[in-house]
Amino acid sequence: MQVAGYIGYDLDPAAPPDVDHILLTRPMSVAAAVVRLLRCRGTWADDRQALDASAGFCAAPWTEAVIRIDGNVLPCCRNHYVYGSIERATLPEIWVSPAARSFRASVARGAFPNDACTQCYRKGKATTLASAFDSLLGQLWERYARASDAAGIALDGEMCERMAEFHAHVRSNVRGPAALSACRRALERTRLLETSLTIVEARFAVHKIGVIAQACLDFHSASPEPAIVATTRQANLVAICNARCVHCIGLYTGEIVRGEETGGRRIKRMNDTQSARALERADDMTSFFMNGSEFLLHPQWRAMTATLAATGVRLSVSTNGMLLDQRATAVLMQSGGPFEINFSFDGATKATVESIRVNVSYDRLVQNVRHFLQQLAAHRLNVPVCISMVLMRTNVAECAALVALVHDLRPDTRVDVHVSFELLETSPVEAYNRFFEQEWIDIAHPTARASLEAAAAEARRLHVRALYSGEDLADALARRAAAIAG
């Protein structure tokens, strides 16, 4: 393999097939360049996989949109391709813009629109219908069932049958005539049932199931102009943060302190006009995630939670836990809408957590998470909860301890809480790259693998679900073992 260094930071899609080009942020040795190249591609284990994308290898162009704080609309959080800007057009207009149509056409025929897609696919991060809708469909169905049961109304038998068929196809991620038929049958029944339901909560749930069925139908049919506008939506409402995590890229750019730099100015939060545009066609939304920084820092987060809940949209929250006190927890519990939440720990001990997540109090974090989980059990809410840890050399020894901590925090086995071990993100930011090179570690490293194996054993013993970069941890370890043996 040959390596050529250039100024910048990306893989060169125009490189000849026998040359792997990498754009470097500074001069470095060929050996260091090879290391960077492999890391840019994904994990070391994934690097040996052949790159052979099938048509429609990613569902994101038909289901997702990310609205940046500067107004730009992107296909997903891992790609900076711009569909358009909500400063100059509405979201529905941007959704069917020439740029958006072109991006979808490339994915539909199995071609990578740009290098971000190539790298994402190599890492196994491409959006699937299962990753987008599996848990949400379960939540919506439970909401329909609970509302019907409370009113003493039997579930619609044909809806039960069609929902089971449709959900099975969503989970399988298999495309074809059977999947198309399942989408159409589910959509037809939801529309019919929706007109006859008098219970508001049940009608909301059935309507949103229909929205998902239409979005899946758009994907399976490779529609250039999907009827549903960005049903899973992310908005970068806030750039600043109350924590100073050592692995946060925004710490190195200054964004989490001074705001995101755009157009020669710093923006700390999205303005009200843009925020409203980010929520356009709310009826099409099934899931909304505040990406970027701390959602609870937004002055209107309570009002936004109520708005999303009123339209049956699932709110996805990622938090450092400092602001999710008892009053904030009560707001979420009483909102009446579906939601899911991620608590960032990045360690299992006070010393590690507070050294990585600067400004975070370990004791307060544990207290707030324990109270939150207790309230979920008390309200009998089906809310997916993730306790996450970004793997670094600094914290990798605490994988099993984090699983044990989650077991201790969980008040009831019926509370849906799991552990997720994630990898450090790559970035073109020079200062961050030095940190990245010092701290990067993944499942291919013997130390990480031993720690993750201990975590998997602890997860089995304590009946705690554990993931590695979106994959079941035990499966990821087995795949790595097979790669070594092969």
DSSP calls for 11-59: B-TTS-TTEEEEEESS---HHHHHHHHHHHHS-TTGGGS---PPTT--S
In this structure, are residues 20 and 30 in contact, taking their beta carbons and an 8 Å threshold?
no
* pLDDT at residue number 463: 96
In this structure, are residues 22 and 40 in contact, taking their beta carbons and an 8 Å threshold?
yes
* pLDDT at residue number 53: 63
Is pLDDT above 60 for 37? no
Give 428's pLDDT tier (boundaries 50, 70, 90): confident
Question: Mind listing the pLDDT tens digit for each residue in 104-155?
Answer: 999 999 999 999 899 888 878 889 999 999 989 998 999 899 999 999 999 9
* pLDDT at residue number 245: 96
* pLDDT at residue number 411: 94
Question: Mind listing the pLDDT tens digit for each residue in 351-408?
Answer: 999 999 999 999 999 999 999 999 999 998 888 999 999 999 999 999 999 999 999 9
What is the average pLDDT value for the chain, to the nearest integer?
87
In this structure, are residues 358 and 244 in contact, taking their beta carbons and an 8 Å threshold?
yes
Average pLDDT over residues 421-442: 93
Give 273's pLDDT tier (boundaries 50, 70, 90): confident
For residues 21 and 390, the model is more confident at 390
Helix and strand totals (H; E) in the chain = 20, 17
Question: Mind listing the pLDDT tens digit for each residue in 280-338?
Answer: 998 999 999 987 788 899 888 898 898 888 888 889 999 999 999 999 999 999 987 77
* pLDDT at residue number 336: 78
* pLDDT at residue number 171: 94
pTM assigned to the model = 0.78
* pLDDT at residue number 88: 92
Q: Of 32, 123, 4, whose CA–CA distance to 434 is shortest?
A: 32
- Give CA–CA dist 478/58, Å, rounded: 25
Question: Mind listing the pLDDT tens digit for each residue in 42-90?
Answer: 332 333 233 456 778 899 999 999 999 989 999 998 888 999 999 999 9
* pLDDT at residue number 485: 87
The tokens describing 456, both together, are 């998997």
For residues 10 and 257, the model is more confident at 257
For residues 52 and 26, the model is more confident at 52
* pLDDT at residue number 153: 92
Give 229's pLDDT tier (boundaries 50, 70, 90): very high
Q: Which residues of 126-161 are buried (b: 16+ CB within 10 A; e: fewer)?
A: bbbbbbbbebbbebbbebbeebbeeeeeeebeebee
Average pLDDT over residues 455-484: 95
The tokens describing 174, both together, are 């298999």
* pLDDT at residue number 427: 86
For residues 276 and 167, the model is more confident at 167
Checking DSSP bridges between strand 465-468 and strand 471-472, what pairing results, if any? antiparallel
DSSP string, 62-124: HHEEEE-TTSEEESBTTB----EETTTS-HHHHHTSHHHHHHHHHHHTT--SSHHHHHHHHTT
* pLDDT at residue number 5: 30
Share of the chain above pLDDT 90, in %: 65
In this structure, are residues 20 and 3 in contact, taking their beta carbons and an 8 Å threshold?
yes
